[in-house]
Copies of this chain bind each other. A is one copy, B any other.
C-alpha cells in the first residue's frame, strides 16, 4: 500500500459546469487544478463538498475523478472523496479512483438514514477491503447527518487497516483533543472546519483540508508555515487576517463563494447546480472587496 505523507494545506477543487449548468467544463477544471498546485498546496482533493460531488451523475463523477487524477499527474498526492449513499456504490467509486491512480480516498458515511455504529464500521470495512489505498475517514455531521464519536472513529481506525487518517469537521475543537489523547498521539488528524484553522494546528492537526486556497493560497500556506516555525503570534495574526474570508466562504456556501471568487480572479468556472444559487450581487461585491484587501 502506498503511504503518501499527507500534511499541510490540502486544497479542494470545484467542479466547473458549462453555462447552462448541464455539462462539465473539464478545461476550466484543469486550469483550476494547475492554479492550486502552482500556488504551493501540499495535496489536491477532488469531489468533496466544494466539488459538488453529491450533485453529479455517476458518469460525471467518473469523468471528474479520472480527469483530476490525470491532471494532477503526481505533482502532489490526490485525495479523492468516494462517499456514496450505499456501500455498493461507495465501493465502486473507491475502486474506480484506485484504478485511475488516486493516492488516498476520503470516506464520509453519507446516508439517508441514521446508521448504527455497527453499520458504519461495516461500511468502512467493506470499502477498506475493496482497495489497497489509505483511507481518510471523514466526520462531518452537518452534511452527512451522522456524527461519529471519537470512540467510534478510533474503533474504525484500529479495526480497518487502511483507515490511516481522520478528518474532523464538527467544528468542536475538543474532538481533536480527544482524538489526540485517546489515540495516544498515534492518529494523524486533519481539520475540515475553516474557522478552526488556527486552533486545529495548535491542537496538533497535521493538515487543513480547505477550499480557501482557490482564492487565498498564500495566506493559508503562511499560516501553516508559522505553525511549523513554532511562531504562535505570527500564526494568530495570519489567522485573524484571513478569518473574515473563511467565515464568508462558510456562510455563503463553498461552491457558490469559491466559484464567484474564481470568476473575480479571472477563471470562469460557471455556477453551482440548482437548487444551490450562485452568489447574489451584494455578496459578490463584498467578496471582491475582501479579496482586494487580502491579495
Would you give the shortest CB distance from A184 to chain B, in whole angstroms? Answer: 11
State how many copies of this chain the complex holds.
4
Q: Which of A179-202 contact B (CB under 8 A)?
A: 180-181, 195-196, 198-199, 202
Is there a chain B Cβ closer than 8 Å to A123's Cβ?
yes
**Which one of A145, A177, A196 has the highest number of Cβ atoms from chain B below 10 Å of its Cβ?**
A177
Residue of B nearest to A193 (CB): B174
Q: How far is the CA of A204 from the CA of B199 in the complex (A)?
A: 11
Which of A37-45, A106-114, A129-137, A287-295 forms contacts with chain B?
Answer: A106-114
Which of A28-36, A159-167, A212-220, A271-279 forms contacts with chain B?
Answer: A271-279
Which of the residues B87, B143, B236, B275 comes within 8 Å of A122, measured between beta carbons?
B275
Residue of B nearest to A49 (CB): B112
Is there a chain B Cβ closer than 8 Å to A235's Cβ?
yes
Q: A112-B143, A199-B203 are in contact. Are A277 and B118 (CB under 8 A)?
A: yes
Q: Which residues of chain B come closer than 8 Å to A112, judged between CB atoms?
A: 49, 52, 54-55, 143
**Can you list 26 A-B contacts with CB-CB less than 8 angstroms, sorted by A residue number?**
A52-B112, A55-B86, A86-B274, A88-B274, A109-B275, A111-B276, A113-B253, A113-B255, A113-B276, A114-B142, A119-B274, A120-B275, A122-B277, A126-B274, A142-B145, A145-B145, A173-B173, A173-B196, A173-B199, A174-B196, A198-B202, A202-B202, A202-B236, A230-B231, A230-B232, A232-B232
